[in-house]
Structure 1
Amino acid sequence: MRSNYIRGASVTCSASQAEIQTMLASAGATGIRFASERGKTRITFRSGGHHFLLALPAATSDLPHAQEAARRGWRQLSALVQAKLDAVDAGITTFDEEFLAYMVMPGGATVFQAVAPGIAAAYAAAAPPPAAPPGALPTGPP
């Protein structure tokens, strides 16, 4: 995996946040906000009439390690957003498909939060679908 991260180098949290804001704004997102509450940092924005929410978990309570973990977390989140937007730019997927899990539903839960329990229950209640042989293409609707 290729990474812009160089061992020993420190990219500040604010630099990664600025990079994320620039990438999202360039992709047409508006209302981009960063907020911290209950030990999590949240990024909210709008795109295509939808609201989105990404949350970065709190770092460790050990201050020296917390600062490094926060820098690493922001850097990784920046890389994730970049990869998603690169896939959208390449026409591999759409913005809504790439960020679907983070789309906020009426009521405030993300799509992931809304559907994850149902998916877990479905897998617990039934045998999982058979695995396709290596190299086989999926059949049926996507």
Structure 2
Amino acid sequence: MTSPYTRGDSFSSEASRKHIGQALADYGATDVLFSHRGGQSAVAFKAGGRQFRIVMPLLQSEGTMAVRGDAADSRLREANAKVLERANRKSWHALALAIDGKLGAAAAGIATLESEFLAHVVLPGNHTVLDELEPIIDSAYRSGLRPTFRDPALPYGLSNIVL
């Protein structure tokens, strides 16, 4: 049986965001920012000379229902809103636990902050490492060929030279 703690049922989304902000600040992160756009929320911060951004999709209603004004429609909307709120509360709680684990590993010297959050490092141009690598990895799996990573500052072909 799963306890409410592990399900995240007893934590509000706001409590999880506060926990994330405090955990990042305790680790030494600065400029912690939470944002929301469309069906996604994000937490961004600076630490170790890098910028990081973690984007998390949130569940949303699939549209507004026609309002007929009867009690059944009202109860259905309320039930749907509660399901969405609970799912998003659990997502924020899971993110808080994940960030705690990553920060704990970095603090213990098991990993570095950058290795733990590598996918979320923001590169020049405002894309994350994950944004840049995901299509390359997908293509490599579809083709069965090893991807090549080259330094865009070097002329084509010079990145494979080992000095």
TM-score range, shorter chain: 0.7 to 0.9
Match of residue 63 from structure 1: 81
Residue 19 of structure 1 contacts residue 78 of structure 1 at CA under 8 Å; is this kept in 2?
A: yes
Structure 2 CA distance for aligned equivalents of residues 100 and 80 of structure 1: 14
Match of residue 31 from structure 2: 31
Question: How far apart are residue 127 of structure 1 and its match?
Answer: 6.2
Q: 1:4 to 1:102 in 2, by over 3 A?
A: farther
Match of residue 40 from structure 1: 40
Normalising by the residue count of structure 1, what TM-score does the alignment of the two structures yield? 0.81
Structure 1 CA distance for aligned equivalents of residues 8 and 112 of structure 2: 35
Structure 1 CA distance for aligned equivalents of residues 4 and 99 of structure 2: 14
Residue 8 of structure 2 contacts residue 94 of structure 2 at CA under 8 Å; is this kept in 1?
A: no
Match of residue 85 from structure 1: 103
Structure 2 CA distance for aligned equivalents of residues 43 and 16 of structure 1: 12
Residue 60 of structure 1 contacts residue 69 of structure 1 at CA under 8 Å; is this kept in 2?
A: no
Question: How far apart are residue 7 of structure 1 and its match?
Answer: 5.4
Q: Which amino acid aligns with 2:18?
A: A
CA-based RMSD of the aligned residues comes to 2.2
Structure 1 CA distance for aligned equivalents of residues 52 and 86 of structure 2: 27
2:53 partner SS: strand
After superposition, give the CA deviation of every residue in 1:32-75 in whole Å (9 maximum; x if it has no partner). Answer: 01111122111111112211111121223131111101110110
Structure 2 CA distance for aligned equivalents of residues 108 and 122 of structure 1: 24
- Which has the larger share of helix? 2
Question: How far apart are residue 95 of structure 1 and its match?
Answer: 0.2
Match of residue 138 from structure 2: 120
Question: How far apart are residue 26 of structure 1 and its match?
Answer: 1.1
Q: 1:63 to 1:9 in 2, by over 3 A?
A: closer
Q: 1:8 to 1:33 in 2, by over 3 A?
A: closer
1:5 partner SS: helix
Q: 1:3 to 1:20 in 2, by over 3 A?
A: farther
- 1:10 counterpart = 2:10: yes
Structure 2 CA distance for aligned equivalents of residues 65 and 126 of structure 1: 41
Structure 1 unaligned regions, length at least 5: 129-142
Question: How far apart are residue 97 of structure 1 and its match?
Answer: 0.5
Match of residue 132 from structure 1: none
Residue 42 of structure 1 contacts residue 54 of structure 1 at CA under 8 Å; is this kept in 2?
A: yes
Match of residue 104 from structure 1: 122
